[in-house]
Amino acid sequence: MSAQPMTVSYNYREQLCVDSAPGPGTIVIFGASGDLTKRKLLPAIYALFERKLLPEKFAVIGVARTEMTNEAFQEEVREAMAANGDTVTDEFLAKFSYVAGQYTESATFEQLETELKRVSEEHGTEGNALFYLAMPPTMFEPIVKGLAEQGLLEEDDAWSRVIIEKPFGHDLESAVALDKSLKRYIKESQTYRIDHYLGKETVQNILMLRFANAIFEPLWNHTYIEKVEITVAEELGVEKRAGYYDKAGALRDMFQNHMVQMLSLIAMEPPAIFEADAYRDEIAKLISSIRPLEGQDLGKISVRGQYVEAVDSERPAVGYRKEEGVAPNSQTETYVALKLFVDNWRWRGVPFYMRTGKRLPKKSSEIAITFKPIPHSIFKPIRPKDFNQNVLLLRMQPHEGMGLSLEVKSPGSKLCVNTLEMDFSYSDFMQGEDIPDAYERLILDALLGDQTLFVRNDTVEASWRLFMPLLRAWEADLDNVPLCFYPAYSEGPKETNEILEGGSLQWRKI
Ligand code: BG6
């Protein structure tokens, strides 16, 4: 009974949009020469500019340590964009200027204030400022302190917002300390914590799918859903980030943030309105309902792995411990699989199988929701277990889209059952245009002052609280949760199957 592909047609009706346009403002990028700025922020700002989503009255000020003129910085922007395959216009570059200085010196913030006043006059940005800290977390406090002491975070006549990037702490204690130190200078309403997964189109579509269709919600519970499987597989290894990654590992790097946010979107209750606090209250409630790991047999619900040299001769890859900058005896996990439960009325007993790792066969992020088997077969001798269970597959990336498998009768005089895959692909829907990058949406929302897709501090802490028992057990190196090794480009450690119910099921093939 092989699955047959099926085409679906799209109904291009006039779209209904929740539209808003940001008012005047300046984006100030700390870490203006850094990798994040070049790879993500500049392309996102340019794409917004091209699509006329930025206000006419906007400017960008880069801040970094190297001495540079405005013209030299504009040239750097031009080159970075050319490396991305974009030729930017002079009109766009004219919006950029530069301030050089140390992030810990008050002179830098004095100069920044002068520059902000100048661009406010030249570009009409009305003193509004979005400070993007494209910096390691150790720099968050000094920069926010510098901004505060210069009076740049006061919101008397203009708004002032700060975007920070993960990691938000290394564990619960440091996350609490980080937040406490930031709160001395900025309010939660000014703090925009980025989890770029929340800006992805396909991740946002989870909510639209669940709450704009009447057919899913009645089935979205333990009565009809057997299990949920969330996979975020990466083909890349640690690349040039060993300095950070070898101290973090996959649980801190992916689970504590992106994976938990995706689980929350699948499992949360509907907020009354899609608005920052109502929505984030539900996320916070959901994370707090995940069954605590404390007291569970961690060996039965978790697997941690590390990649070793590839056996695939077509794609040679060194083992993690041989990567540049990684300790030769590193115990850092590059792979984690977990079985989680959400202890509430809706999800009682439904396992959420979640795994993420580097150097897996290919890049593939998806959420598979498997519905329960039919209770009885009227098509004797075909038994209930002969039918494939319905699977709703949400493909996050690449090949963004979704699919639903259905059992149908094969045409013909005999009574034969077969499986159809209804498949929707964003690329068909976009008709050749690229799907907007997550950073575009998030920068736009920050300019609009919409915090909905930014992570609130209570959810950061709730997520750390959840994972602390696992991190502690790993640090103690308990035999119960050993580090399992897997060859680069394999499906991950073989032990992963053992956490599936009864050990007899299979994970979906990556
Ligand atoms: C980042 C992690 O947050 O997400 C990286 O630090 C990871 O290690 C990346 O590679 C994955 O993001 P994406 O958008 O490529 O799935």
From edge to edge, which strands make up the β-sheet containing 191-194? 96-100, 58-64, 25-30, 129-133, 160-165, 191-194
- Residue-level pLDDT at 187: 96
Task: Quote the CA–CA distance of 480 and 495 in Å, as a whole number.
Answer: 12
Do 263 and 339 meet the contact criterion of CB atoms below 8 Å apart? Answer: no
Q: Of the residues 254, 261, 439, which should be mutated to test ligand 1's pocket, given the most ligand atoms within 8 Å of the CB?
A: 254
Task: Quote the CA–CA distance of 312 and 304 in Å, as a whole number.
Answer: 22
Which residues fall within 8 angstroms of residue 132, CB to CB, at 6 or more apart?
27, 28, 29, 30, 41, 163, 443
- Residue-level pLDDT at 430: 75
Task: Quote the CA–CA distance of 367 and 365 in Å, as a whole number.
Answer: 7
236 Cα nearest atom in ligand 1: 10
Task: Quote the CA–CA distance of 416 and 412 in Å, as a whole number.
Answer: 8
Do 162 and 144 meet the contact criterion of CB atoms below 8 Å apart? Answer: yes
Which residues fall within 8 angstroms of residue 354, CB to CB, at 6 or more apart?
229, 230, 231, 255, 259, 263, 337, 338, 339, 340
Q: How far is the CA of 234 from the centre of ligand 1 (A)?
A: 8
Q: How far is the CA of 332 from the centre of ligand 1 (A)?
A: 17
Do 150 and 109 meet the contact criterion of CB atoms below 8 Å apart? Answer: yes
197 Cα nearest atom in ligand 1: 14
Q: Which of 123, 170, 222, 258 is catalytic?
A: 258
Q: Is the CB of 400 under 6 A from ligand 1?
A: no
Q: Please name which of 286, 282, 302 lies closest in space to residue 294, comparing C-alpha atoms.
A: 302
Helix (H, G, I), strand (E, B), or coil: what is residue 417? strand
For residue 99, the number of C-alpha atoms closer than 13 Å in the C-beta half-sphere is 25
- The CATH number that domain 201-435+479-497 falls under is 3.30.360.10
Q: Please name which of 230, 274, 228, 234 lies closest in space to residue 253, comparing C-alpha atoms.
A: 234
Please report which helix (H) or strand (E) contains residue 427, including its range.
Answer: helix 426-430
Which residues fall within 8 angstroms of residue 227, CB to CB, at 6 or more apart?
350, 351, 352, 353, 370, 501
DSSP string, 302-348: EEEEEEE----TTS----GGGSTT--TT----SEEEEEEEB-STTTT
Q: Of the residues 234, 245, 255, which should be mutated to test ligand 1's pocket, given the most ligand atoms within 8 Å of the CB?
A: 234
Q: Is the CB of 282 under 6 A from ligand 1?
A: no
How does 74-100 read in b/e, with b if 16+ C-beta sit within 10 Å? Answer: bebbbebbeeeeeebeeebbebbbbbb
200 Cα nearest atom in ligand 1: 14
Q: Is the peptide bond before 167 cis (omega within 30 degrees of 0)?
A: yes
DSSP letter, residue 497: G
Domain-wise residue ranges, the chain: 20-165, 201-435+479-497
CATH superfamily, with its number, for domain 20-165 = NAD(P)-binding Rossmann-like Domain (3.40.50.720)
Q: Please name which of 301, 335, 303, 343 lies closest in space to residue 319, comparing C-alpha atoms.
A: 335
Give the chain's radius of gyration (CA, Å).
25
From first to last of the 510 residues of the chain, give the pLDDT tens digit: 445 554 555 555 666 776 678 999 999 999 999 999 999 999 999 999 998 999 999 999 999 999 999 999 999 999 999 998 999 999 999 999 999 999 999 999 999 999 999 999 999 999 999 999 999 999 999 999 999 999 999 998 899 999 999 999 999 999 999 999 999 999 999 999 999 999 998 999 999 999 999 999 999 999 999 999 999 999 999 999 999 999 999 999 999 999 999 999 999 999 999 999 999 999 999 999 999 999 999 999 999 999 999 998 889 999 999 999 999 999 999 999 999 999 999 999 999 999 999 999 999 999 999 999 999 999 999 999 999 999 999 999 898 899 999 999 999 988 899 999 999 888 887 777 788 899 999 999 999 999 999 999 999 999 999 999 999 999 997 778 899 999 999 999 999 998 987 666 789 999
**What residue owns the CA closest to ligand 1's atom 8?**
253
Indicate if 258 belongs to the active site. yes
- Residue-level pLDDT at 1: 44
